[in-house]
Amino acid sequence: MILLNDLLGLDANEIKRTRLKLNIPEKGNNPLDLYKSNPDEINVNWFLWHNSRRYFHTGQIAICLVRISQDEWLLTTIKNILSELETDDGVGYEAEEIDKYKGFFGRVVVKYHNTVKWMGKVFENVMDELEVLEILPEAYKGDEFPGYENVCLDYSMLKTIVERDFKGWRGALKNQKAVYLITDKSNGKLYVGSATAENGMLWQRWADYAVNGHGGNKVLRDVIRREGIEYIEANFQYSILEHYNGSMDDEYILERESWWKNILCSRKFGYNLN
């Protein structure tokens, strides 16, 4: 078994001043998704956040782990805490990454079973439980496709997948026709759409939404005109109702799209006009 400190090589003095912070989903935000789209959102805004509870103090070494699954964690950064900032609700520390560990950031997957709710750990107390499961060949991108029935994306994640051209997603969607669902989480309104050969299959159709939020749809364009693209970023969610291979007739896809509009009443109560 290889332990995390077998890689890091912290000496006895460094071990005593090292603290670990575990980042888990909260308030509807998944830190792993945030890390995939913007690492600093986790490595600064989450990791160094301070309110009534202080995880770190000046002079300490701080290790950031982000949950991948129940007992698997991704090492995203290690920093020296340079000073504590005067704030009760914000980034509470000035810190700098430790250069010699940068090759591990986003690549080391650790096994650790957290038995208590407290997310801050004294490294010395848990170091013998931090087992290295894997060192990824490159920094974690999370481009593995989860399966059509498990797709549930917010706008920022959709945009990240398209802009960074996640190969797992592109491979799964580029030759698929589909009926998909867009959900406005702020009011429950639904939009049912279809991806056919005519509009470039599912990858291209969703790429159109990633570019501007509306994908050319009149009603969604009006939403952005009234509320701004920020409204889409905060509230829109994308999922797949049905999917078919590229040989399926477009007319059948359009019939299924109409069926779902009737079932979900998205013409009467949602964003579909026809």
Predicted local distance difference test score (pLDDT) of residue 262: 98
Whole-angstrom Cα distance, residue 191 to residue 181? 6
Predicted local distance difference test score (pLDDT) of residue 129: 96
N-to-C CA span, the chain: 60
Residue 156: band (very low, low, confident or very high) from pLDDT cuts 50, 70, 90:
confident
Predicted local distance difference test score (pLDDT) of residue 33: 84
CATH class for the region spanning 148-264: alpha beta
Residues 221-229: contacts with CB within 8 Å, 24+ apart?
A: 223/271
For range 182-186, the mean pLDDT: 97
CA distances from 264 to 148, 188, 241, 269 (A): 20, 11, 11, 9
Predicted local distance difference test score (pLDDT) of residue 264: 98
User: pLDDT over 90 for what percent of the chain?
Assistant: 78
Q: Which helix (H) or strand (E) holds 173?
A: helix 167-173
Which token pair is 148?
């059509």
Residue 106: band (very low, low, confident or very high) from pLDDT cuts 50, 70, 90:
very high
Whole-angstrom Cα distance, residue 192 to residue 182? 6
Average pLDDT, the chain: 93
Digit-coded pLDDT (tens) for 194-217 = 999 999 999 999 999 999 999 999
Strand pairing report for 61-69 and 18-23: parallel
**What is the residue extent of each domain of the chain?**
4-135, 148-264
Residue 101 contacts residue 68 (beta carbons within 8 Å): no
Q: Which helix (H) or strand (E) holds 224?
A: helix 218-227
Low-confidence winner among 26-30, 185-189, 230-234 (lowest mean pLDDT): 26-30
Low-confidence winner among 85-89, 127-131, 161-165, 240-244 (lowest mean pLDDT): 85-89
Instruction: Tell me if the pTM is above 0.75.
Output: no
Predicted local distance difference test score (pLDDT) of residue 119: 83
Which token pair is 112?
């650790």
Residue 33 contacts residue 42 (beta carbons within 8 Å): no
Amino acid identity at 227: E
Digit-coded pLDDT (tens) for 138-152 = 888 877 888 999 899
Residue 15 contacts residue 5 (beta carbons within 8 Å): yes
